[in-house]
Amino acid sequence: MGEASAEEFVVVQEPVERNGSLREKRFLDFLKASPPREWLQKLSRSSRSLRRMRVPFTRKIDWPALLNYVKRWLRNPLNIALLIWVMAVCISFLFMGMISIGLMNGVIKESSRRKEWVEACNQIMNALFTIMCVYQYPKLLHHLILAVRWKSDDATALRMVYSKKGQARPRERLHIALVIGLLHMTCVAQFTLCGLFWAYDRSSRPDLLVNACLAVGILAPIAAAVYTLYGPLSRKIESGLERETTETEMETGCSRKDKRVIITRPEWVGGLLDCSDDLTVGYLSFFCTFCVFGWNMERLGFGNMYVHILTFIFLVLTPLWVFSVTGLHIDDHGVKEAVGVIGVLLCFLGLLYGAFWRIQMRKKFKLPGNFFFWGYPNIADALQWLFCWSCALAQEVRTGNFYDVEEGRFYGKNQLFFDGETEEGEERPALQPLSHEGAVKPLAPPPMHTMVKASQESRQNEIS
């Protein structure tokens, strides 16, 4: 996978050195901790052989650091959605297991009713896993296209996802294609299993094909994860190849000298309800929400447009379709209605996908947040998308139109400065808003040191 972030590590007490260097400690390293000496001494009273054991307690859990890690992890809305999904799967699996081993016989006395409940749990878990695969499939399909095309930018994008530290490795195309193929096998197996659950009832369903799909759906992602974490994509590369890759990246990054002004404190263009500032953007944001959203995300540097469009469509429409069909295969009337209500609710909550990327846009470009809701701007972004998605999207598009977006930064639109004057020798004006954005105040001129630096660079280019 890509480079590990700082959140994947937990501070441990008394770092242990080996051969003069600190060992890398990951979040789950506490599972390797040896038992304390007091515990061994208690056991040694009943066994002489244990008296000779001297296993030092090398590390212990840092509970405050672990708690902080959990808090940071829960701040990500996608992690919260994943946690809710895992809880729903665990509850369904636990309830089905209790019925299968007879713990619910006293509550559900009829055998036919117990079989109906088992089938309902199977259908619900099938729907949950199908939805998860549908959500991930646009991204996997895009990765497959990149692996087949394999241009320079395609290889770089795939390295950041599947290769450790995003570094180039020998025969990396083959290794990455293998991981992508295993993940595609997982999705295809789940889609096949979903078709079997919908096409057959529990008495006529082919068990052999169902078990084969389950085996592929379980083993394929495990194999992909193990191959990514411990295979050729995670091994240490030779210093020569690493140096060559670094030099190439440096040449690419330094190939152009941008003399434009970086906007360090941008503002939202217009308020949330100021859709009249640009009626075209307002109408398109309402009637073509998915397409405008995907186009705006790619322009801002948040990924491929088509991946965003398909993912957003699936998030909004798939729950209603999957849970409605699942409810038709559940005999219990109460459970059938509950499954249908959950599908409608998940369709509405699919708009949070846009809220998530609005949060990323605000943080990346340092846009001001709305602290009206108990001081949490993330909540404000979520509510804006849930109850006025077209207005929120129109505001994001207007803001993107007002600035030039390159390399994750906002630049002043078409402004080059030399010694306080423009290239034509005229007096330097402030960055004025567009004609249909008259409500926005003109941005302040850039600081003097920025203009001096741009002037020096231009003189050096003229001399050279």
Whether the pLDDT of residue 12 is over 70: the answer is no
Quote the pLDDT of residue 443.
41
Give 303-320 pLDDT, tens digit per residue: 889 999 999 999 888 888
- Higher-confidence position of 436 and 168: 168
Quote the pLDDT of residue 251.
44
* Torsional sign, CA 328, 333, 336, 342: positive
Quote the pLDDT of residue 215.
93
pLDDT, mean over the chain? 75
Q: Where are the domains of the chain?
A: 1-74, 81-240, 260-463
Quote the pLDDT of residue 201.
84
DSSP string, 184-220: HHHHHHHHHHHHHHHHS-TTTS-HHHHHHHHHHHHHH
Q: Tell the residue number behind the tokens 């995300």, with chain if given.
A: 297
- Higher-confidence position of 46 and 242: 46
Token reading at 54: 């001297």
Beta strand 409-416 with 404-406: parallel, antiparallel or unpaired?
A: antiparallel
Whether the pLDDT of residue 6 is over 60: the answer is no
Quote the pLDDT of residue 265.
81
Mean pLDDT of 380-400: 89
Residue 46: partners with Cβ closer than 8 Å, 6 or more residues away: none
Highest mean pLDDT among 1-15, 40-54, 274-288: 274-288
Contact 224, 182 (CB under 8 A): yes
Among 31-40, 356-365, 414-423, name the one with the lowest average pLDDT: 414-423
